[in-house]
Amino acid sequence: MNPSVDALRATFGPAIGRALESCGDTIVYVGRDALLDVMAWLRDTPQQTYDYLVDITAVEYRDRERPLEVVYNLRSLTRRADLRVKVELDPQGDLTVDSVVSLWRGADWLEREVYDMFGIPFRGHPDLRRILMWETYAEGYPLRKDFPLRGRFSRAEQVRQALAAQPEAHYSLEELSIAEAYEELPADMKERLRHGERGRLPDSE
Partner 1 sequence: MKRVIESKAVAGQSPNYLLAKLQDLVDWAVNSSRANSLWPMPFGTACCAIEFMATAASRYDFARFGMERQAFSPRQADVLICAGRLPFKLAPVIRRIYDQMPQPKWVISMGACASTGGIFDNYAMVQGIDTIVPVDVYVPGCPPRPEGLLYGVLLLHKKIKGESLFDRVPRRDEQPLDDRGLRLPPEQIDEISEPFGNSIHQFRSA
Partner 2 sequence: MSKRTVELQLATPGADARGQPLRVPLGVAEPPDVAAEHMLINIGPQHPATHGVLRLVVELDGETVVRVIPHLGYLHSGFEKLGEYRHYNQIIPLTDRTDYLSPMANNVGFALAAERLMGIAITPRCTVLRVIACEMSRIISHMVWLGTTSIDLGAFTPFLWAFQERERIYNLQEMWTGARLTTSVTRVGGMMADVPDDFVAGLRHFTQTFPKTLSEIDRVLTRNGVWVGRTQGVGVLTAAEAINHSLSGPMLRASGVAYDVRKDKPYLDYETYDFDVVVGEHGDVYDRYLVRLEECSQSNRILQQALDRLPDGPVNIADPRVILPPKSRAMNDMEAMIYHFKQVMEGVKAPVGEAYVGIENPKGELGTYLVSDGTAKPVRWRIRPPSFINLAALPKMAAGHLLSDLIAINASVDIVMGEVDR
Among candidates 44, 55, 143, 37, which has minimal Cα distance to 107? 55
Sheet with 16-22, edge to edge strand ranges: 16-22, 25-30, 81-89, 68-76, 52-59
∠ Cα 32 77 10 (to 5°): 45
Q: Are 89 and 97 within 8 A, CB to CB? A: yes
- Under the criterion CB under 8 A, does residue 151 sit at the interface with partner 1? yes
Residue 19 parent element (H or E): strand 16-22
Q: State which residue, 62 or 200, has the beta carbon closest to partner 1.
A: 62
Q: Is residue 111 classed exposed, middle or buried when 0-12, 13-18 and 19+ CB atoms within 10 A define those classes?
A: buried
d(CA 172, CA 65): 36
CB of 41 to partner 2, least distance (A): 17
**Candidates 7-15, 20-28, 41-49, 153-161; binding stretch for partner 1 (CB under 8 A):** 153-161
Question: With CB cut-offs between 5 and 8 Å by kind, which of partner 1, partner 2, none does residue 57 bind?
Answer: partner 2
- Under the criterion CB under 8 A, does residue 47 sit at the interface with partner 2? no
- Under the criterion CB under 8 A, does residue 154 sit at the interface with partner 1? yes
Of the residues 13, 14, 93, 167, which one makes contact with partner 1 according to CB under 8 A: 167
Burial of 114-138, coded b for 16+ CB within 10 Å and e otherwise, reads bbbbbbbebeebeebebbeeeeebe
Report the site for partner 1 in 7-36 (rule: CB under 8 A).
Answer: none
Of the residues 139, 144, 185, 192, which one makes contact with partner 1 according to CB under 8 A: 139
- Under the criterion CB under 8 A, does residue 162 sit at the interface with partner 2? no
Report the site for partner 2 in 120-139 (rule: CB under 8 A).
Answer: 121, 125, 127-139
Of the residues 40, 159, 173, 181, which one makes contact with partner 1 according to CB under 8 A: 159
Size of the site for partner 1 (CB under 8 A): 25
CB of 37 to partner 2, least distance (A): 19
How crowded is residue 90: how many other Cβ atoms within 10 Å of its Cβ? 10
Chain residues binding partner 1 by CB under 8 A are 62, 133-134, 139, 142, 145, 147-151, 154-167
